Amino acid sequence: MASIRERRRADGTRSFAVLWRDPDSGKQTSLTYDDENDAVVAKRLIEAAGGRAAEAARIAEAVRSKGPSVDEVVAEHIELLTSIGPDTRSHYKSQLNRLPAREPLHRR
């Protein structure tokens, strides 16, 4: 449904145009990216949205939203543990706080 066309700019750099036909209007539409991977992701989103750019943008925004960090998930898990005493919970929290910071679970 969508395709990617590589183009050379006058300065020698490359750009990647994602081309598709809007199913409602029948018009060819395109988006241009500097990075090939961004173009591939856009192409997949547009195809998943049936060629509707607005729906692809909605999907992209949902993918872009950040999820919780590993620290946040583990901290919540520690709070929800039911078969431990206050000393054990405090120990778990101190162990968590001693670890280096980690990235969010959800990809950007």
Rounded average pLDDT over 18-25 = 88
pLDDT tens-place string over residues 54-108: 787 777 776 666 677 788 889 999 999 999 999 999 999 999 888 776 655 544 4
**Structure-model confidence comparison of residues 69 and 43, the more confident one:** 43
Read off the pTM. Answer: 0.54
- Mark whether 59 and 39 lie in a shared domain: yes
**Structure-model confidence comparison of residues 28 and 66, the more confident one:** 28
- Mark whether 22 and 47 lie in a shared domain: yes
- Mark whether 51 and 72 lie in a shared domain: no
β-bridge pairing 14-21 and 3-8 = antiparallel
Answer yes or no: are the C-beta atoms of 14 and 4 closer than 8 Å: no
pLDDT surpasses 70 at 40? yes
- Mark whether 55 and 78 lie in a shared domain: no
- Mark whether 59 and 75 lie in a shared domain: no
**Structure-model confidence comparison of residues 41 and 105, the more confident one:** 41
pLDDT tens-place string over residues 1-13: 899 999 999 999 9
- Mark whether 75 and 61 lie in a shared domain: no
- Residue 64 tokens, joined: 């872009």
- Mark whether 28 and 46 lie in a shared domain: yes
- Mark whether 82 and 49 lie in a shared domain: no
Q: Which domain holds residue 85?
A: 67-107
- Mark whether 59 and 26 lie in a shared domain: yes
> Residue written as tokens 């090939």?
36
DSSP 91: H
Interatomic CA distance for residues 19 and 38, integer angstroms: 14
∠ Cα 105 43 26 (to 5°): 140
- Mark whether 78 and 49 lie in a shared domain: no
Rounded average pLDDT over 38-47 = 88
Q: How many structural domains is the chain composed of?
A: 2
DSSP sequence for 13-35? -EEEEEEEE-TTT--EEEEEESS
- Mark whether 53 and 95 lie in a shared domain: no
**17: nearest Cα among 34, 28, 4:** 4
- Mark whether 9 and 41 lie in a shared domain: yes
Interatomic CA distance for residues 12 and 9, integer angstroms: 5
